[in-house]
């Protein structure tokens, strides 16, 4: 069965510092991987996705993620964090079943210190 | 395009009351989903639909019913609300991987439901 873990419940970084959010997944086949962001009081918005090909994926808002099959990881990175990046971040893994099933991780809450 | 809209945004119910949450999308997506979001648990799938007139159970379907009479609408019903259903409910929609080659989900803004 699919599963997603995000080891960090909450992370605090200073504005301008680099960021890495960790995501590990469990899935028996090639996964489809996603990162979503949720700003306070809002729905989720897709940051980036990996389906196949280049393992380094670029997304919106300056984010990127790298798929590492050997480590079953899909970590999200940003070189310089902005105060507006404070939000909840969800990693998700998808599989082709009877429908396009997606399992979400528990989320990592990001705080940014000015 | 409005994307995915949800009504209402907030609701307070007493135990045993019923209500319906409405989700609408204007992107012609085949698939629609209802999730609930609880602290520390991410999003859990309640029910989903792969097309007009079809629905199926997700991970946590008990106490909920759904209907998809029109492609653009997906209704979530609570027949007899319980305090354990206090949560934030999100609707999402997507194309299917088979037809579009991609299936990222588009989310509504959520409905915050409190059952007392």
Confidence at residue A42, expressed as pLDDT on a 0 to 100 scale: 87
Q: How far apart are CA A66 and CA A94, in angstroms?
A: 16
Residues 54-73 of B with CB under 8 A from A: 56
B78 in Cβ contact with B61 (< 8 Å): no
A residues 30-89 closer than 8 Å to B (CB): 32, 34, 36, 41-46, 49, 51
**Residue B20: predicted pLDDT:** 97
pLDDT per position as a tens digit, B40-98: 788 999 999 999 999 999 999 999 999 999 999 999 999 999 999 999 999 999 988 77
B78 touches chain A (CB under 8 A): no
Residue A51 scores a pLDDT above 90: no
Identify all chain A residues contacting B45, using CB atoms and an 8 Å cutoff.
101
- A43–B110 C-beta distance less than 8 A: yes
| A12 HSE (CA, 13 A, CB side) | 2
Radius of gyration for the alpha carbons in chain A, expressed in angstroms and rounded: 14
- 3-class state of residue B8 by DSSP: coil
pLDDT of A97 > 70? The answer is no
| pLDDT tens-digit map of A22-49 | 999 998 777 889 999 999 888 899 999 9
Task: Please name the residues in contact with B31: beta carbons below 8 A apart, sequence gap of 6 or more.
Answer: A99, A100, B48, B49, B50, B51, B93, B94, B95, B96, B103
């Amino acid at each position: 069965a699919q599963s997603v873990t995000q080891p960090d419940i909450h992370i605090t970084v200073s504005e301008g510092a680099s960021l890495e959010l960790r995501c590990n997944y469990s899935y028996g086949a090639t996964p489809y991987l996603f990162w979503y962001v949720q700003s306070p009081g809002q729905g989720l918005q897709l940051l980036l996705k990996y389906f196949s090909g280049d393992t380094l994926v670029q997304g919106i808002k300056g984010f990127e993620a790298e798929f590492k099959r050997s480590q079953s990881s899909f970590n999200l990175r940003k070189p310089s964090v902005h105060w507006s990046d404070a939000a909840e971040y969800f990693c998700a893994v998808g599989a082709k079943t009877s429908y396009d099933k997606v399992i979400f991780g528990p989320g990592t809450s990001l705080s940014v210190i000015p | 395009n409005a994307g995915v809209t949800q009504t209402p945004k907030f609701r307070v119910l007493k135990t045993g009351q019923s209500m319906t949450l409405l989700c609408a999308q204007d992107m012609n997506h085949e698939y629609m989903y209802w999730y609930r979001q609880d602290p520390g648990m991410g999003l859990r799938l309640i029910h989903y639909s792969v097309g007009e007139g079809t629905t199926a159970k997700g991970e946590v379907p008990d106490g909920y019913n759904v209907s998809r009479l029109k492609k653009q609408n997906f209704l979530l019903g609570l027949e007899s609300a319980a305090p354990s259903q206090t949560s934030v409910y999100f609707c999402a929609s997507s194309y299917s991987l088979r037809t579009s080659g991609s299936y990222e989900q588009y989310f509504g803004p959520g409905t915050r439901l409190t059952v007392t």
